[in-house]
Amino acid sequence: MIQEDRENILRARATGNAVLTSPFKLLGSHHLGVVLTFPVYKSKLPQKPTMEERIKATAGYVLVNSFWLVASLLSQHFGVCLVAHMGCKRMRRDG
């Protein structure tokens, strides 16, 4: 997973977009988690910055590890409720 983390950090820095890892099993749990990586820039970028301008202006990253994001996405798209107190609604899939 370390290689994927590095690739995601570099992709976020170069593109200016948030990057999401593949879901992974959380230690000591049966739940899935993901890491969402956001680039942080130290200076205001031009309206359409080049990859080089983004890389040069990078100050750091914000990494968000979230089980709740995975649970919410599964609930919305597949009708799967992972945690009863999330208030998930079962969705009926026709067809």
**What local confidence, expressed as pLDDT, does residue 66 receive?**
72
**What local confidence, expressed as pLDDT, does residue 41 receive?**
92
Query: Which sequence spans correspond to the domains of the chain?
Result: 2-68
DSSP letter string, 24-55? EEPTTSS-EEEEEEEEEESSPPPSS--HHHHH
For the chain, give the mean pLDDT: 76
**What local confidence, expressed as pLDDT, does residue 87 receive?**
45
**What local confidence, expressed as pLDDT, does residue 63 receive?**
85
- What is the rounded distance in angstroms from the CA atom of residue 63 to the CA atom of residue 42? 17
Buried-exposed string 33-51: b where 16+ CB fall within 10 A, e elsewhere: bbbbbebebeeeeeeeeee
Is the model more confident about 16 or about 64?
A: 16
60-83 pLDDT per residue, tens: 998 887 766 566 666 666 655 544
Name residues whose C-beta falls within 8 Å of residue 64's C-beta, 6 or more positions apart in sequence. 35, 36, 37, 38
